[in-house]
A and B are shown apart, each in its own frame.
Chain A
Amino acid sequence: MADNTHALEIRDLSKSFGHIKAVRNASFDIPEGSIFGLIGRNGAGKTTIMRMMMNVYLPDSGEILLRGKKVDQAFRNSVGYLPEERGLYKKMKILETLLFFAELKGKKGKKVSNKAKDYLERFDLVDRINSKVEELSKGNQQKIQFITTILHDPEFIVLDEPFAGLDPINTNILREIILEKKREGKMIIFSTHLMDFAERMCDHIAMINHGKIILNGSLSSIKTEYSQKNVTLTYEGDISFLENHPFVEKISDFGNSTGIRLKDGDQTQEFLKLLLDNNVKIKRFDAEDISLHEIFIELAGKGPEEDFSFAQ
């Protein structure tokens, strides 16, 4: 039975290229109306997952469900896709290019043409409307590529590394449009290795490492959970009893302080009591906030086998 809160469900997707397993049993859900970030290091498998979502690659196994049903051409018609490796016909004129890609999605006519001109104006490219794509700078070509992604007013906007290669001004324009689309009720799915962008824009994320989803859920719950699990401790006394203790997942000695990761974020109070019961003199006990970047570094540094899942 499909969960109505999930627009897209990725179920056990796997894809290999020869002996290389690019994606291994990846599963995650993308809730309705969210901005979803697929994050991971370069080569982690983000693009392969996106390509499978777009039916560019056929998965070796697994499936993608749109509101409980397998994705089909109707889904593809309702998606705007910006691939990581941008590509346009170099000899085509800009307006022709925009109208061609809109027509592939079943949209044509005066309305689309006017909308294309509006977007060109917004990106400061309206004076280049009759230029050939090859006559534009790489950055401007990227803007055209982005317009082709959204011109047909898709319900889903899938962006693979959308900010790569853009200057700060155009990055802002792009971000504004993405947020505007979210306000219009569109779903935005993007991949990035830039954690600060993901943290600022996403409601939900899935983190992929070595082809495996190692973390997924709502950003707020992930951060809450992670900050609760992380304790920074400054103390006097002997804490060797914490090694292999069932509460503790990991201990990192930072010199002046010690970082302790608990297995369960709900055990913070019990952990504090444990220290006091063992006569540890506590100078500082901080159940700290944590950035997505830190979570990423922490998890991406681990082996591929570990998996963390959070409630949404």
Chain B
Amino acid sequence: MLNNRIIAIIKRELREKLMSKSFIIMTLLIPLFMLLIIGLQMLIAVYEGDKGTRIELITESEYLTESCKTYLTQQDFVRDGTYVITYDTVPRRSLKSHIEERKQEILSEKLNGVIFVPSTALKNKKIEFYSKTPTNISIFEKLDNHLNEVLIDQYFSEKDLNDEELNFARMGVSFNGFKVSEKDELEEEGFGNTAMALLFAFLIYFSVIFSASMTLNSVIEEKNSKVVEVLLSSVNSREFMTGKIIGCTITVFAQMVIWLIPIIILVTTSWITLPESFSIEISYGHLAFFLFNFLLASFIYQGLSATVGSIFDNPQEAQSGFFPVILLIMIPFLLAFTMMRNPNNPIAVVASYVPFATIIVMPVRFTLVDLPVWKLILSQLINIATLVLIFPISGKIFRIGMLRTGSKPTFREVLRWVRS
């Protein structure tokens, strides 16, 4: 299958890509980029941009106002000045005129809003918020639990409860997840596997996108520099495409293994200890499945991008043809995110058996839930079938496209190449 000519092409690809500065830079840069994204998200989560939020809290009774004040002034976000809360007691009938008085301040955003806790809230817990942006979820999330606790305290203060009972009443419900698997023991599941699923989705997505665009540009360059004619006088187009794709795939596979080294160390040794809530349940088989799946994914997308590259004469024109290829990986990437909330989401379950989508969805799903082996094999058979189906088509387009120059071919023209 691999003759000397294909091996010569693979060696050249490896020399050009694996030994290049850009490979080393990208190998280091992508994990840094991912860390940057995750860090940025965490930063945004921590810093919500609500520093200096000014709220006026009104109740209908002096007592309730005082309770709110006493409780809220103890909270960190008030003590550190993130929230500046003023308090007032205003009966319902005067609320409208009170809001009128505050109108200019609200409109000029000197005041972010007025929270009105009516006396009826002690029965139905309904609170009103008057603001220029009355659906400010950030404010609701910040205050709802605290106001709930004030209301609970108020409600039960007349019921003669002791502190223990009161604390119980204040508590919310906390879910602890235990994984039911083929194993005998029931293990408490942390967020480690969710983080790992996220990492896998990112790694496949970025690696495929970057390597596919690298192959696209490399094919366009070969076409433009006319080196392809010399090559095709020595090897046939199938050998050329095979050598190129294998060379590129080995490169990205090596890159992926480098990226996974920390995970491999984590799984195979006890050098790294994670907090219990981030413990990772990943086996050798899991890593092997991930790498095999990635290998096939890489073949598929290298093949597609080499085909697209052969159709166009320059990178600008090629972008229009490359866009559908990007969509084929971007849609499953987004689907994988919906699975983080519910790994058994029916769309995700179906997508894990859909060609192209299975490439990202299945490894992510497998990281989140235990799946029988036959399902994993089925997903890989789908990948292999995709590969077998697209390669003859790609080969035909590649052969004609590589030697064609001039105006951008129409879709119909490309279809004709396939039929030829």
Contacts and interface: CB of A to CB of B under 8 A. Distances in A.
Contact of B403 (A56, A105, A106): A56
Nearest to B221: A90
B159 to A, nearest CB: 81
Nearest to A105: B234
B16 interface: yes
Contact of A54 (B15, B222, B233): B233
Contact of B229 (A76, A87, A148): A87
Contact of B16 (A55, A86, A91): A91
Nearest to B403: A56
Nearest to A102: B8
Interface in A15-60: 51, 54-57
B231 interface: yes
Nearest to A47: B229
Interface string B3-40: 01100110110011000000000000000000000000
B395 to A, nearest CB: 13
A79 B233 contact: yes
Contacts of B9: 104
Interface of A: 51, 54-57, 73, 76-77, 79, 81, 83, 85-92, 96, 100-101, 103-106, 145, 148
Contact of A83 (B222, B229, B235): B229
Q: Which of A57, A86, A87, A88 has the most CB of B within 10 A?
A: A87
B217 to A, nearest CB: 12
A89 B244 CA distance: 14
A85 B4 CA distance: 26
A56 B227 contact: no
Given A103-B4, A104-B235, A83 B225 contact: no
A81 B227 CA distance: 12
A104 B225 contact: no
B231 A104 contact: yes
Interface string B221-249: 11001111111111110000000000000
Given A89-B225, A96-B15, 12 more contacts: A54-B233, A56-B229, A83-B229, A83-B233, A86-B226, A87-B230, A100-B8, A103-B4, A104-B5, A104-B231, A105-B234, A106-B5
B226 A85 contact: yes
Q: Which 3 residue pairs are nearest across A and B when measured between Cβ atoms?
A: A87-B226, A87-B227, A81-B233
Contact of B233 (A76, A100, A103): A76
Contacts of A81: 230, 233-234
Contacts of B225: 87-90
Nearest to A89: B227
Contacts of A91: 16
Contacts of A57: 403
Question: Range of interface residues on chain B?
Answer: 20 to 34
A105 B5 CA distance: 7
B226 A76 contact: no
Contacts of B5: 104, 106
Contact of B230 (A55, A103, A148): A148
26 contacts: A51-B229, A54-B232, A56-B233, A57-B403, A73-B236, A79-B233, A81-B230, A81-B233, A83-B226, A83-B229, A83-B230, A85-B229, A87-B227, A89-B12, A89-B227, A91-B16, A92-B12, A96-B15, A100-B12, A101-B234, A103-B4, A103-B11, A104-B8, A104-B9, A104-B234, A145-B230
Nearest to B7: A103
A76 B233 CA distance: 7
Contacts of B233: 54-56, 76, 79, 81, 83
Nearest to B224: A87
B324 to A, nearest CB: 26
A189 to B, nearest CB: 13
Contacts of B228: 87
Interface in B270-313: none
B227 A88 contact: yes
A76 B240 CA distance: 14
Contacts of A76: 233-234
B226 A106 contact: no
Nearest to A77: B234
A91 to B, nearest CB: 7
A96 B8 CA distance: 12
B236 A103 contact: no
A282 B8 CA distance: 71
Contact of B8 (A54, A79, A103): A103
Contacts of A100: 8, 12
A227 B233 CA distance: 39
A103 B9 CA distance: 9
A23 to B, nearest CB: 15
A81 B5 CA distance: 16
Nearest to B232: A56
B399 to A, nearest CB: 8
A169 B232 CA distance: 30
Contacts of B234: 76-77, 81, 101, 104-105
Nearest to A160: B229
Contacts of B226: 83, 85-87
Contact of B236 (A55, A85, A87, A101): A55
Contacts of B232: 54-56
Contacts of B221: 90
Contacts of A88: 225, 227, 230
A125 B233 CA distance: 25
B230 A101 contact: yes
A80 to B, nearest CB: 9
Interface in B63-87: none
B408 to A, nearest CB: 15
